[in-house]
Structure 1
Amino acid sequence: MTEPIDVVVVGAGLSGLQAALTLNEAGRSVLVLEARDRVGGKTYSVQRPDGKGVQEMGAAWLNDSSQSMVWSYCQKFGLTPVVQNIQGLVASEDDDGDCQLFPFGGMPEFGKGVLDNITALRDYVETASLDPKTFEHPRRAELDNISFEKFCKDAGAGTKALQTARVWCRGTTGQDPGDVSALAYLEVCRGASGLIKLRYDGKDGAQNLRLREGTQAISINMAKLPPAGTIKLSTPVTSISTAPEKDTFSITTSNGLPFTARKVIVSIPSPAYKNITFDPPLPAPYQHHVSNVRYGCFVKYICTFKTPFWRRKGACGLTQSFRGPMNHCRDTSVDQDGNYALTCFLCSGPGREWLALGAEHRKEAVLRQLSSLFETSFEEVVGEFSDSLTSEWMDDPWAGWGCPFAIAPPGVMDAERILEVAAGDAGGLYFVGTELTDEWRGYMEGALRSGKKGAEVVLHSLR
């Protein structure tokens, strides 16, 4: 009888690769089974159709200060950081379609009372996200049972402040504030050292740096580190069951390959657990989590251009909209490659309405909105337009039919305390991923930290 592998890791995204590397460095035998024909999970860098560099279909941003693990890999692999452009004006669109440009770091001209209200809400969310008592009982339970929208209203948010919070929430989760637990959103903020850094594109912010080679280059290089044969691509796992001896697992795949392991780390997004039959069934807290957390609508529509026309208006490429269909966009150009682009985010209800349009109408809707935001004629924007790339995460079963991470509605988190449960042993099963971390949830850094911590728990169990 073949000796069982110490650990099988399901999924070759960042968390799975990191778990495998940590285990391998400790001398354990590891096998990574990946459903796709590539590594990287939700890091997915694609070539522009014209060959002028890459754009990100998935994870795109990092920083070199508070995201130590991902930055360490960037240095290890000699990847080239691109500083997010914040030089110039930010474009803002009101709910009636009125647009204005204002300096980065400033705010739209809404009037002093409105601006004070928005600032007060921002500071209130910031303070709550950094206060440890927010996440302790009884406050934890109170916040879990209300939506982020109610949290904002209870704080005295007026119309414009609520619309601003909607931009924040849609931009992070693809959902409206009324659909997300206040506790869940504040936990995301806490993991990024507060709302301000979560939203910030400058130094130390969550969106400070990109990579010229694309973020998938991290995963591709990580996959070269373990021994040959450690990672099997195009091998979707269909079932995980406890073997009769009760101290090993039997893992089967769609192509008929069986594997036996002492421990199993599941590193795929929780909505994708539905692709796997677990025998015995998942423990109750996991079933509760999988049944309740959900993705929003979060689509990237990347417009590539001949030149960065928005800069001629003094704009940095960052926008926000209270109307839609685009919630916000950022300049994702790499100038040295002639790779000029705006990554537009279509989120929540407006994103779904946009998705229902035909391809040409989608393009026209985005280009017309960019025309308004940057105070440039529609004809000029069309003349500068080269091509577009659209993320397809909502059609991807291996991602769980969505992106960037699943998040809980009101009334779910306090009952399950999934982070505490995920840090333990579920009968020899272990779960990791960017949604199962208290640090940089939804980011590459969070995935790496979760993978490392999960592997360390497994190593302790194996000893």
Structure 2
Amino acid sequence: MSSFHIQPVDVDVVILGAGLSGLRAAVDIHKSGLSYVVLEAVDRVGGKTLSVPASSQGGVVDIGAAWINDTSQVEMYRLAKEFGFELIEQTTTGLNLYQGSNHKTISFLYSGMPFPLNDKQQAQLYEAFGQMAILVERSDSEQPWLGPDARRIDSLTLAELGEKEIGGGIGSAVLNVLSQACLGLESNEVGALYVIDYIKAATGLENISSDLKDGAQYLRNRQGNQTFSTRLAESLDIGAVKLSTPVSKITQSGEVCMVASSSGRTYRCKRVLLSVPSTLYPLIEFTPSLPASKEALSKSKLGYYSKTILVFEKPWWRDAGFSGAIASQTGPIVFSRDTCVPDDKQYSITCFHVAEPGRQWSKLRAEDRREAVLKQFRAMFSTVVDKVPEPINIVEKEWTKEPWARGAPCPVMGPGVLTSDAGKAVREPVGHIHFIGTETSLAWKGYMEGTVQSGIRGAKEIIADLTAERG
């Protein structure tokens, strides 16, 4: 009995992933004249950028990556200008709210501390930030394993660094808040040297935590950040992006790579560009197997990072003199930001559920999660307004429950990994397979900027290789 055999599709390059890194790489590969295809596991482009309608009043909200800046995030800002997107400064006007471990809520200035510090606590805080700033400054941005005391620092968790090197107390508590907010993990879950490198990649401690000019949370996109990916995809060859096409196997043999999709279609190529988080490498069968250093990266941790966006008819908190920013030691809302677009009549507060408080919240049923958020939100704002209005829409996104994401913002290394062979192998090609994605970036890893920069690097590597082979 004969069987129907599907011939492989021949291209120069197969790109896995239609997020920002894969699509940005595809643009440069397209311009070079090489043939290519982009295979995306899910039914849309954008990766961890996802923009959805806010409400019937209009506008969109970002339930994935949300902010850029116009100074150190040069590639994202360049794309925003190229595509004609309208960028909105993050509001920092009004009072913030802080909820302590005793559930008591107080208000404080946007630029201030949420609670008064005694002399000892002030000294601890200054010491912590001063010591971290020194460690970040001394770190080698391209080869962090070569920095002063790299191995010793890498042997510690961030929590241990706070206690042993920085003096503990309020300083350690602030480092844990930083770990939760930036990585979705507790400070005792992450390697100290990895966090130092992460901060270095974001141009320093002040900028990674700032909503102001130069900060990581300075500008939002009125059109929604998924539109970066849709516009990049539109600039490619028609049919070049294949959605709902997860890859199950990559085989290297001599000068040829065979990429098999779960649909049964096979692609034969000269290079593979892998824009997949290292934690998802085990979902693909590699022949020959990946080196031990690459396989070790698959054991990195993905943070718990989710959003509940509360959309209102009016920006009542602004009218009451509040910024919409809250911080809590109890959760399930760990922090929030105002994400309004007044010109679209889109009035929202985005609530973040991260790290251990987020993981506990995630265990609840959907209706109980929503009620827990509203209960905490009402409790905090009812201390400063007579009546907390009901939202006209609620949008929730748990990235941990997405099978091709499994967490956010990016894989995080534990102690001892960054100075090991695994840490040094993050960006290294394996044969004809090249690796991109925000975790591989030297600048702004974990952010959209890092994602795009990694795509540019990966495309450059492949174009150089194939150009050299052609002579």
Residues 1:163 and 2:170 are matched in the alignment: no
For 1:326 and 1:122, locate their aligned partners in 2 and report how far apart those are by CA, in whole Å.
25
* 2:13 aligned partner: 7
For 1:179 and 1:423, locate their aligned partners in 2 and report how far apart those are by CA, in whole Å.
23
Q: Which TM-score applies when normalising by structure 2?
A: 0.92
Offset of 1:156 from its aligned partner? 3.9
* 2:64 aligned partner: 58
Offset of 1:377 from its aligned partner? 7.0
2:465 is paired with a residue whose SS is helix
* 2:48 aligned partner: 42
Offset of 1:254 from its aligned partner? 1.1
Kindly indicate whether the alpha-carbon contact (under 8 Å) linking 1:86 and 1:316 is maintained by their aligned counterparts in 2: yes
1:391 is paired with a residue whose SS is strand
* 1:267 aligned partner: 275
1:341 is paired with a residue whose SS is strand
Check 1:30–1:413 CA distance in 2 against 1; reply closer, same or farther (3 A cut).
Answer: same
* 1:408 aligned partner: 413
Match of 1:130 among 103, 125, 137: 137
1:7-27 residue CA offsets vs partner (Å, 9 max, x unmatched): 100011011011111112222
1:199-236 residue CA offsets vs partner (Å, 9 max, x unmatched): 10011100000111100001000001122122111111
Offset of 1:432 from its aligned partner? 0.3
* 2:4 aligned partner: none
For 1:140 and 1:167, locate their aligned partners in 2 and report how far apart those are by CA, in whole Å.
23
Offset of 1:457 from its aligned partner? 1.3
RMSD of equivalent CA atoms: 2.0
2:302 is paired with a residue whose SS is coil
Match of 1:232 among 242, 266, 278: 242
Offset of 1:310 from its aligned partner? 2.1
Residues 1:328 and 2:330 are matched in the alignment: no
For 1:385 and 1:351, locate their aligned partners in 2 and report how far apart those are by CA, in whole Å.
21
Task: Within 5 Å, give how 1:196-215 maps onto structure 2.
Answer: 196-215=206-225
Check 1:321–1:122 CA distance in 2 against 1; reply closer, same or farther (3 A cut).
Answer: farther
1:113-168 residue CA offsets vs partner (Å, 9 max, x unmatched): 22332233123222321223693255111111100011111244444332222221
1:28-59 residue CA offsets vs partner (Å, 9 max, x unmatched): 11111111111111111111243521111111
1:324 is paired with a residue whose SS is coil
Residues 1:396 and 2:406 are matched in the alignment: no
* 1:30 aligned partner: 36
For 1:216 and 1:367, locate their aligned partners in 2 and report how far apart those are by CA, in whole Å.
27
Q: Which amino acid aligns with 1:176?
A: E
1:384-407 residue CA offsets vs partner (Å, 9 max, x unmatched): 3222111131121212x1111110
For 1:90 and 1:124, locate their aligned partners in 2 and report how far apart those are by CA, in whole Å.
27
For 2:135 and 2:148, locate their aligned partners in 1 and report how far apart those are by CA, in whole Å.
14
* 2:3 aligned partner: none
2:270 is paired with a residue whose SS is strand
For 1:163 and 1:352, locate their aligned partners in 2 and report how far apart those are by CA, in whole Å.
19
* 1:194 aligned partner: 204
* 1:455 aligned partner: 459
* 2:369 aligned partner: 362
* 1:105 aligned partner: 111
| Number of residue pairs the alignment of both structures matches | 457
* 1:283 aligned partner: 291
For 2:390 and 2:368, locate their aligned partners in 1 and report how far apart those are by CA, in whole Å.
18
Offset of 1:378 from its aligned partner? 8.9
For 1:67 and 1:409, locate their aligned partners in 2 and report how far apart those are by CA, in whole Å.
27
Offset of 1:371 from its aligned partner? 3.1
Kindly indicate whether the alpha-carbon contact (under 8 Å) linking 2:441 and 2:453 is maintained by their aligned counterparts in 1: yes
Q: Which amino acid aligns with 2:98?
A: S
For 1:434 and 1:323, locate their aligned partners in 2 and report how far apart those are by CA, in whole Å.
30
Kindly indicate whether the alpha-carbon contact (under 8 Å) linking 1:11 and 1:32 is maintained by their aligned counterparts in 2: yes
Residues 1:74 and 2:64 are matched in the alignment: no
Check 1:33–1:342 CA distance in 2 against 1; reply closer, same or farther (3 A cut).
Answer: same
Match of 2:392 among 364, 370, 386: 386
Once the two structures are aligned, what percentage of the paired residues are identical?
A: 34
Match of 2:428 among 417, 424, 430: 424
For 1:25 and 1:163, locate their aligned partners in 2 and report how far apart those are by CA, in whole Å.
49
Check 1:159–1:372 CA distance in 2 against 1; reply closer, same or farther (3 A cut).
Answer: farther
For 1:219 and 1:104, locate their aligned partners in 2 and report how far apart those are by CA, in whole Å.
33
Structure 1 unmatched runs, 5+: none
Match of 1:116 among 116, 120, 123: 123
For 2:247 and 2:365, locate their aligned partners in 1 and report how far apart those are by CA, in whole Å.
35
Q: Which amino acid aligns with 1:201?
A: D
Q: Which amino acid aligns with 1:215?
A: N
Check 1:45–1:339 CA distance in 2 against 1; reply closer, same or farther (3 A cut).
Answer: same
Q: Which amino acid aligns with 1:299?
A: S
2:185 is paired with a residue whose SS is coil
Kindly indicate whether the alpha-carbon contact (under 8 Å) linking 2:274 and 2:434 is maintained by their aligned counterparts in 1: yes
Q: Which amino acid aligns with 2:282?
A: K
